[in-house]
């Protein structure tokens, strides 16, 4: 997945390969899949490529009952 994102950034947006870092710690608890140094841009590959998992279809109400609609 990271390779496809790097290829896309390089070919479509002209980001230099040596300007990208893989698995880069941005903050105390944030690790970016790809970090573009020149733009201070942290990228999560699944979000960029639209392959992130679907949000949960059930939620827990305040009363503790399970609801099927969000």
> Domain boundaries in the chain?
2-51
Give the pLDDT band of residue 1 (cuts 50, 70, 90).
confident
Instruction: Quote the CA–CA distance of 26 and 30 in Å, as a whole number.
Output: 5
Q: Is the pLDDT of residue 70 over 50?
A: no
In tens, the pLDDT along 10-68 reads 999 999 999 999 999 988 888 889 999 999 998 888 776 666 665 555 545 555 555 55
Query: What tokens does 68 get?
Result: 């099927």
pTM exceeds 0.75, yes or no? no
Question: b or e along 5-23 (b: 16 or more beta carbons within 10 Å of the residue's beta carbon)?
Answer: bbeebeeeeebeeeebeee
Query: What tokens does 44 get?
Result: 């999560």
Query: Which carries the bigger pLDDT value, residue 70 or residue 44?
Result: 44
CA 58 to chain centre: 23
pLDDT of amino acid 49:
64
């Amino acid at each position: 997945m990271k390779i496809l994102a790097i290829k896309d950034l390089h070919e479509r947006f002209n980001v230099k390969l040596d300007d990208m870092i893989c698995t880069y710690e941005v903050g105390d608890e944030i690790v970016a899949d790809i970090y573009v140094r020149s733009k201070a841009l942290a990228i999560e590959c699944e979000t960029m490529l639209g392959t992130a998992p679907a949000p949960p279809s059930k939620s827990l109400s305040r009363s503790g009952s399970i609801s099927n609609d969000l």
